[in-house]
Amino acid sequence: MHTRRKFIKIGAFGLGAAAVTGVVSEWADGALADKPLLLNDKYVSGWRRVPTYCEVCFWKCAGWTHVSPEGNIQKITGNADDPQCNGRLCPRGTGGVGMYSDPDRLKTPLLRVTKNGEQTYREASWEEALDFIAGKMKEIAGKHGPESLALFNHGTPGKYFTHLLNAFGSNNVAAPSFAQCRGPRDTGFELTFGESVSSPEVTDIRDTKCLVLIGSHIGENMHNGQVQEMSEAIDKGAVIITVDPRLSTAASKSKFWLPIKPSTDLALLLAWMHVLIHENLYNKDYISQYAEGFNELKEHVRDFTPEWAYGVTTIKPELIRHSAREMANAAPSVIIHPGRHTTWYGDDVQRSRAIAILNALLGSWGNRGGIFFKEGIKIPDFPRPAYPKPAWSWQDTLNGRYPFAREAVTNTIIEASIPKPGMAHVVKGWFVAGTNLVVSIPLKEQLMQAMQALDLLVVIDTMPMEITGYADVVLPECTYLERYDDLRATAHREPTIALRMPAVSPSYQAKPAWWISKQIGERLGLGAFYNYKDFKEVLEWQLKQVGSSLEEMERIGLKKYPRKTPVYIANGSDFKFKTASGKIQLKSNELQEAGFDAMPVYTPHPQPEDGYYRLIYGRAPMHTFSRTANNRNLVALMPENSVWVNPQVAELWGLRKDQHVWLKNQAGIVSNFSVKVRITERIRWDSVYIVHGFGHHHKPLTYAFGRGVNDTELISRLSIDPIMGGTGMRGNFVTFVKTEPRKGGKI
Amino acid sequence: MRYAMAIDTRKCVGCSDCVVACQTENDVPNGFCRDWVKEVVDGTYPNVSIELRSERCNHCANSPCVRCCPTGASHFEDGGIVLVEHNKCIGCGACIESCPYEARYSHPDGYVDKCTFCIHRVRQGNDPACVCVCPTRCMYFGDLEDPNSKLVNVLKNRKFKSLAPEAGTKPQIFYLL
């Protein structure tokens, strides 16, 4: 029986490692004329600028790392040729250097050992750590098959460990970005249009006349290209319509703000359909040419009048009508934005379907100012043998559930890691790369149970995130500024590729993920899958296949390729959508055959009891997930989150501005730490709002520890979407605890 | 020549990129800033509005800070840019008190510091770092005396305001409404 995996705080280890190799340089004060670097513009000699693409979020803006003659990183700026950023990084990208200079970084490989009956970590050499991992993998594969290894990942490092697992014989690879984030949206759009809106989204915001945001807070979610395009659209006079219980930044820039009662969005969407169809405002030519199921839809929404929706959503009927007419006026240059984080209430695929259907009624898909067709360039894989076929895969962990899950569902792999009698498919080892599962995955108890039962847990990260405390082996990855990486190949308006190369050599003993993967692979006898000396060789070969070279990319950082296919549907042309019938599915036969509603239906969701408020969470423009809360460049802008409370609620509770409170959810779970109260008219009286990603409880994150509150720990009730397994997280309610709930207690 | 800036409050999303870019461009020590973002909320739910604006030294034409500086460290450069010459500054803080915009801070090295309009960049024909980095392109920097500049163009065509006009400092940062 495996020893209970005790949580170990990493801070005491790795202190003896070599000092950081580069620090941010100091300019002599007053030497104004000598400031050597120019943002975006001409490059001044004496300094180097090294191409990179950002890793602080998934937008992956191409940029330049500026390095002093002494080899220190001064700043990071955007690559002017990159359509994702147009030479302008967002605050997180500009502050990305804080990831590199973070004093709390992981410094050496660490191995879990038992010393005097206590579990602890000790520093290990790479050799020892890698041998240990390979040995354990062989042992697990010998007993349970190679399929018993799984990977949870986010961002660039994931690719190398996916390759490792695929070569070893497993495709149990999952990312929280599906079942905890964009999964419902992608599934809803695939079921309607035959394809998703991808990432970066193919929304033509730049040229739109009307942008409709449903709970999506562009400007606070700093998806760079979208924020830039929204600003451009505002300049050109576009109308913005925002549906949000909170006056988001985008809502404050909107012609219509619909301060909806949370959880009732589907009722509003149905009422909008009703107005468009029954006032004859929909795009008739488009619907008759490209869609099927219209008559059924018309019948379906007959009774969903704005007056009906008013009773559900609290949005006045006239506001519903006016906003629908505004969309129709702008059509087809209108976007009902699909959003991104869409795991809310458990009927999220249906809500995304409703959004997709509205786009169809307005004819926006395939039209200028609506949703365009992407084109990218395919980078061939470096030559390798075919991957072995696994005996079973993540689909088998679904156990007949979630028929439309087209990507692995994190939670079913976690389930499969908790052994039960008679279980056919069991997972015994995890790799976790670039995702802090403890904060990204709700249902903490299940996660803990699974981690306790594993035979191997390897965590690869740059920072001592909470998840590292549960690992058997912790491997320090170097930051994106210190490594070569896979090419960024983006499919959008124009096909582009971008290069990331090291601006400085890795600090401490940190290593790039490609190297870690290769080392483990070779130890497993999978050398044929890693038939190269280093990653430069891979890049050289790949770039040659697409008519470029490492030399060229080092110079330009980003390369554009000419488009070969049209961006929009040619006027009135015969166009086949990627659905089975080639038509837009207003009514989904696929869903019907699987036993789900063929057209979206509004279902009431539980509402908070007296004294409780719906917990709404979101983003701040200067932070990404939980990964930037320790970044010294960014915490200066926002050191912690606060809980937004409507003044009426504050008065009821006697709350003062900046008073510290603890939050307690409907199941009695109290937040680890207290959080400051922000009293603001920007939030509804039935809800509270916090920015996600704070309240770290891992002391080695010396800055982030104990600052603010972590929403994930308060999300103990999930509404699982039966269509694709998304974990709806907006059905949790909290109340205020005004006095220290754990007096004398330790966290 | 009269350098000035216009900032479009309709486009600003308050992301604070201008703050980070200034810090990395100008080595502003951790915990200090030369520019910052202000959010002003008005009204009651659901009739609420927000104004977001990036603030900094207004490079006033009638600058109390220049007037009150006992050593001449605070002075005007070409184009009206207000600068502090660090080695002349004795850190007395009179300018900090005199500024109606709270645009100045005491640098840990003993002098008073503030926005320079990135004069080192401007002299090379570039815009300040905050203007260059802004994802919403909500800032316009230029010469008020150049009738063809984008800056003059937006000020001609849009309503705008300046901050604390009652202080009579003739500020040169304009907020487009």
Angstrom distance (rounded) from CA A33 to CA A560: 35
pLDDT at A41: 42
pLDDT at A745: 52
Question: Do both A589 and A623 map to the same domain?
Answer: no
Angstrom distance (rounded) from CA B168 to CA B72: 21
Element (H, E) at A561: none
Q: How many residues appear in chain A?
A: 747
Is pLDDT of A19 > 80?
no
Domain final position from A560, A593, A626: A593
Mean pLDDT, chain A, whole residue set = 93
Closest-CA residue of A relative to B17 is A91
pLDDT at B30: 87
Closest-CA residue of A relative to B130 is A39
Kindly state whether residue A720 falls inside one of the protein's structural domains. yes
Q: Which domain holds residue A653?
A: 613-737
Convert the pLDDT of each residue in B1-20 to its tens digit: 999 999 999 999 999 999 99
In this structure, the number of other CB atoms found within 10 A of the CB of residue A571 comes to 6
Question: Do both A632 and A581 map to the same domain?
Answer: no
Beta carbons within 8 Å of B168's beta carbon, 6+ residues apart: B62
The arithmetic mean of pLDDT across residues A223-247, rounded, is 97
Q: Which of B15, B86, B137 sits opposite A621 (nearest CB)?
A: B15
Convert the pLDDT of each residue in A614-640 to its tens digit: 999 999 999 999 999 999 999 999 999
Percent of chain A, pLDDT > 90? 90
Convert the pLDDT of each residue in A380-426 to its tens digit: 999 999 999 999 999 999 999 999 999 999 999 999 999 999 999 99
Please identify among residues 33-92 of chain B the ones whose CB lies closer than 8 Å to any CB of chain A. 33, 41, 43-46, 48-50, 52, 85-87
Task: State whether residue A80 sits within 8 Å of chain B by CB.
Answer: no
The arithmetic mean of pLDDT across residues B113-119, rounded, is 97
Angstrom distance (rounded) from CA A304 to CA A317: 11
**CATH code for position A702:** 2.40.40.20
Q: How does residue A9 score in pLDDT terms, banded at 50, 70 and 90?
A: low
pLDDT at A116: 84
Q: Which of B44, B45, B86 sits opposite A29 (nearest CB)?
A: B86
Question: Do both A344 and A248 map to the same domain?
Answer: yes
Element (H, E) at A656: none
Please identify among residues 187-206 of chain A the ones whose CB lies closer than 8 Å to any CB of chain B. none
DSSP letter string, A505-544: PPSTT-B-HHHHHHHHHHHTT-GGGG-SSSHHHHHHHHHH
Angstrom distance (rounded) from CA A180 to CA A616: 15
Kindly state whether residue A76 falls inside one of the protein's structural domains. no
Task: State whether residue B161 sits within 8 Å of chain A by CB.
Answer: no
Convert the pLDDT of each residue in A283-338 to its tens digit: 999 999 999 999 999 999 999 999 999 999 999 999 999 999 999 999 999 999 99
Question: Do both A251 and A369 map to the same domain?
Answer: yes
Question: Do both A244 and A317 map to the same domain?
Answer: yes
Interface with B, mutate which of A681, A688, A691, A703 (most B CBs under 10 A):
A681
Kindly state whether residue A257 falls inside one of the protein's structural domains. yes
Closest-CA residue of B relative to A98 is B24
Is pLDDT of B152 > 50?
yes
The arithmetic mean of pLDDT across residues A550-579, rounded, is 95
State the CATH architecture for B3-176: 2-Layer Sandwich (3.30)
* Partner-chain contact A33 B123, CB within 8 Å: yes
Task: State whether residue B7 sits within 8 Å of chain A by CB.
Answer: no
Closest-CA residue of A relative to B24 is A75
Question: Do both A584 and A716 map to the same domain?
Answer: no
Name the domain count of chain A: 2
Task: State whether residue A634 sits within 8 Å of chain B by CB.
Answer: yes
Convert the pLDDT of each residue in A641-690 to its tens digit: 999 999 999 999 999 999 999 999 999 999 999 999 999 999 999 999 99
Question: Do both A351 and A254 map to the same domain?
Answer: yes
Is pLDDT of A147 > 70?
yes
Angstrom distance (rounded) from CA A344 to CA A266: 12
pLDDT at A164: 98
The distance of B109 to chain A (nearest Cα, Å) reads: 9
**CATH code for position A340:** 3.40.228.10
* Chain A residues closer than 8 Å to B45 by CB: 247, 259, 646, 681-685
pLDDT at A34: 35
Classified as helix, coil or strand, B160 is strand
* Chain A residues closer than 8 Å to B109 by CB: 29
* Partner-chain contact B109 A252, CB within 8 Å: no
Question: Do both A630 and A695 map to the same domain?
Answer: yes
Task: State whether residue A295 sits within 8 Å of chain B by CB.
Answer: no
Q: Which of B30, B85, B123 sits opposite A632 (nearest CB)?
A: B30
Angstrom distance (rounded) from CA A211 to CA A223: 16
Classified as helix, coil or strand, A160 is helix
The distance of A157 to chain B (nearest Cα, Å) reads: 27
pLDDT at A571: 86
The distance of B34 to chain A (nearest Cα, Å) reads: 12
Q: Which of A227, A247, A634 sits opposite B135 (nearest CB)?
A: A227
Question: Do both A296 and A327 map to the same domain?
Answer: yes
Beta carbons within 8 Å of A19's beta carbon, 6+ residues apart: none
pLDDT at A487: 98
Is pLDDT of A21 > 50?
no
Question: Do both A325 and A211 map to the same domain?
Answer: yes
Burial class of residue A18 in the structure, from the number of CB atoms within 10 Å of its CB (0-12 exposed, 13-18 middle, 19+ buried): exposed
Pairing mode, strands A584-585 and A642-645:
unpaired
* Chain B residues closer than 8 Å to A224 by CB: 135
**Number of CB pairs, chain A paired with chain B, less than 8 A apart:** 152
Kindly state whether residue A482 falls inside one of the protein's structural domains. no
The distance of A216 to chain B (nearest Cα, Å) reads: 14
Q: Does residue A473 contact residue A112 with C-beta atoms inside 8 Å?
A: yes
Question: Do both A636 and A697 map to the same domain?
Answer: yes
pLDDT at B170: 96
Kindly state whether residue A410 falls inside one of the protein's structural domains. no
Is pLDDT of A555 > 50?
yes
Kindly state whether residue A535 falls inside one of the protein's structural domains. no
Interface with A, mutate which of B7, B9, B13, B176 (most A CBs under 10 A):
B13
User: B51: which strand partners?
Assistant: B40
The distance of B31 to chain A (nearest Cα, Å) reads: 6
Question: Do both A707 and A589 map to the same domain?
Answer: no
